[in-house]
Structure 1
Amino acid sequence: MPDSATELQNRPEEAANIRLGRVSIPGLFRDLPEAVIVADEEREIVWANNAALAMFGYTIDQLIGQSTEILYPNKDAFQEAGTAHFNKTGSATDHNYEANYLRANGKVFLGETTGGPMRGANGEVLGYFGITRDISKTRAFEELLANLYRVSSDQSLDTAQKIDEILKMGCAHFQTDSALVSWVRGETYTVLYSHSEIAEIERGSVFKIADCCCARALETNGPVACNSSQDNACGPHPCYSLFVLETYIGVPLIVDGTLFGTVNFTSSETRAPFESSDLELIKMFAAWISQQLSIEKEINGLPDLS
């Protein structure tokens, strides 16, 4: 099967000759980074650019002739979009909007769309177009920042509760089921806080750093991630005593300018490879936890793990 992301590049003459009535779809749409889909009066797809094929996960042959209903998570969403934007009269005053869309693999994502009728010289509707940008990651990041701020500023929560909430958010984002905050002194790795959907590691549990995945993060002085135990970035870890570790992402934890320990998120299941943005994001999680620990140190001194 042809690669959907490059298929139109291999069929430029077809992509350039799609017409709705007397209107030809501009060839420049083909190389836009946003997904562009053109449909006829019946909202059946007649054209899509490379970005649309990559975004929705279809080949051009799988899209052409199909109702645009396949792009929506349910029939109600399809009909709502039609009522507001993709009909001859259109109830919407603004054709820039956000909506949930459905990929071929069944996953739903949030998109920002500019779309509406394509009209001929006499104003008649020849078909419809939609230009969509995937904003799911941007929106998820904005919501994450808002939640981190909400938790850190909640005066009803103590330090342990705040860190637990932060670890819980990290597990949700990184698709992991466990998280640890460690306190490192010399060659000793001590569990300070933990969150797990499987089995908590008791506060004060002590391990040798050499037996932990976090050793790599400390050696490199930066974030380390792997999505499978076959990855060289993964190695023996204390969590192996509780469940088989497959996924790991961790980073050194700096408090008041000094190395304090590590923050890591792990799972017994493999996941899709981490992205570079995830490596930046775990540093942000560590910074928020560092802030809480700095406040705790100022008030109560170093942790009492006895």
Structure 2
Amino acid sequence: MVDTATELQNRPDEAADIKLGKVSIPSLFRDLPEAVIVADENRHIVWANNAALMMFGYTIDQLIGQSTALLYPSKSDFVEAGEAHFSNTGTATEHNYECEYVRSSGKVFLGETTGGPMRDAHGTVLGYFGITRDISKTRAVEQLLNSLYKVSSDQSRGTDEKIRAILKLGCEHFQTDSGLVSWVREDDYTVLYSYSDIAEIDRGSTFQIDDCCCAKVLAENGPVACNSSKDSGCAPHPCYSLFVLETYIGVPLIVDGELFGTVNFTSPEPRAPFEAGDLELIKMFAAWIAQQLSIEKELNRLTFLN
């Protein structure tokens, strides 16, 4: 990981010294939260701010003098961006666009970029600049919400199928192998719905709540996440030996204003640390599942009345 906190701060005059013709790169670019990269007329990097180093995973010395092709997943992506935005005869009608980039690790991400040529008073291109922010997480959440809506509004599916589909979406998003919806009454934890790439737990399977990771969720009355049970000290808990779980994220399930049980996603292998946004997202998953259970309960009530 690049130490961006000191990478450019150790060179306080660097931004002021970089010039393209008579154009100086403003020092204020250094502290922008968005990645800023400046290249010469041949699209070779002459300057990058701290955010760019963090985003792409390089040191300043690894970037300076390199072609900006280094930042694109393929040569064709580099050429296409150049033809549209970074040439003397760019074809783009505007220079605010979305594009895929690649980090030093090889991971591809979606960025939103504002960029284009820098010209002198006579219109001669001196170089190019790009200001980029990573929108891959935002776009992933948008796609997830769209998928959840499609599942929930699909009248061809019954409640069981919808909830399993929601659990599958959760597994994909949280990078886990299994998802469960439980019903909790007193000390009993009963599995109502499950989805798993490994082995599903039979509906109706009942465990003691104290043997389950969800005990902590209920005790804290909120979302709980753990990406490595051994490293976090959770391993001695009975649920670790019972289910061999390394990754866990769960939340209370509230249906019609009352505690119903829990929703959780798990894996036997550790994963990258969860983020604050994941704790909000699992509450959203629980809300979608609660809606389905509430609708099912109301339909059963109407059927009974009729």
What TM-score do the two structures reach when normalised by structure 2? Answer: 0.94
Q: Which residue of 2 aligns with 1:265?
A: 265
**In the alignment, is the contact (CA less than 8 A) between 1:4 and 1:60 conserved in 2?**
no
Q: Give identity over the alignment, percent.
A: 75
Name structure 2 gaps, 5 residues minimum. Answer: 302-306
**In the alignment, is the contact (CA less than 8 A) between 1:5 and 1:53 conserved in 2?**
no
Q: Which residue of 1 aligns with 2:57?
A: 57
Tell me the CA shift for residue 2 of structure 1. Answer: 6.5
Query: Is the counterpart of residue 237 in structure 1 residue 212 in structure 2?
Result: no
Tell me, what secondary structure is at the counterpart of 1:237? helix
Residues 2 and 137 of structure 1: CA distance in aligned 2, closer, same or farther (over 3 Å):
closer
Matches within 5 A, 1:218-233: 218-230=218-230, 231-232=232-233
Matches within 5 A, 1:166-177: 166-177=166-177
Query: Residues 13-37 of structure 1, C-alpha deviation per residue, up to 9 Å, x if partnerless?
Result: 1232111122111111111111000
**In the alignment, is the contact (CA less than 8 A) between 1:167 and 1:179 conserved in 2?**
yes
Distance in 1 between the 2:288 and 2:188 partners?
24
**In the alignment, is the contact (CA less than 8 A) between 1:118 and 1:126 conserved in 2?**
yes
**In the alignment, is the contact (CA less than 8 A) between 1:229 and 1:245 conserved in 2?**
yes
Tell me the CA shift for residue 300 of structure 1. Answer: 2.6
Tell me, what secondary structure is at the counterpart of 1:12? coil
Query: Residues 65-112 of structure 1, C-alpha deviation per residue, up to 9 Å, x if partnerless?
Result: 111111111111111101100111100011000001101111111110
**In the alignment, is the contact (CA less than 8 A) between 1:180 and 1:193 conserved in 2?**
yes
Q: Which residue of 1 aligns with 2:85?
A: 85
Tell me, what secondary structure is at the counterpart of 1:6? helix
Q: Which residue of 1 aligns with 2:14?
A: 14
Query: Residues 242-295 of structure 1, C-alpha deviation per residue, up to 9 Å, x if partnerless?
Result: 6x3110000110001111000000011111111111111101100000000111
Q: Which residue of 2 aligns with 1:101?
A: 101
Q: Which residue of 2 aligns with 1:251?
A: 251
Distance in 2 between the 1:137 and 1:131 partners?
18
Please identify runs of 4+ aligned residues in structure 1 that moved more than 6 A: none
Tell me the CA shift for residue 298 of structure 1. Answer: 1.3
Q: Which residue of 1 aligns with 2:178?
A: 178
Distance in 2 between the 1:103 and 1:39 partners?
18
Q: Which residue of 1 aligns with 2:24?
A: 24
Tell me the CA shift for residue 241 of structure 1. Answer: 4.9
**In the alignment, is the contact (CA less than 8 A) between 1:180 and 1:195 conserved in 2?**
yes
Distance in 1 between the 2:146 and 2:234 partners?
31
Task: State the AA in 2 paired with 1:223.
Answer: P
Residues 66 and 222 of structure 1: CA distance in aligned 2, closer, same or farther (over 3 Å):
same
Task: State the AA in 1 paired with 2:81.
Answer: A
Q: Which residue of 2 aligns with 1:198?
A: 198
**In the alignment, is the contact (CA less than 8 A) between 2:248 and 2:267 conserved in 1?**
yes
Q: Which residue of 1 aligns with 2:135?
A: 135
Name structure 1 gaps, 5 residues minimum. Answer: 302-306
Q: Which residue of 2 aligns with 1:294?
A: 294
Moved more, 102-111 or 12-21: 12-21
Tell me the CA shift for residue 173 of structure 1. Answer: 1.0
Task: State the AA in 1 paired with 2:183.
Answer: W
**In the alignment, is the contact (CA less than 8 A) between 2:35 and 2:48 conserved in 1?**
yes
Tell me, what secondary structure is at the counterpart of 1:52? helix
Aligned CA RMSD, in angstroms, stands at 1.4
Tell me the CA shift for residue 64 of structure 1. Answer: 0.5
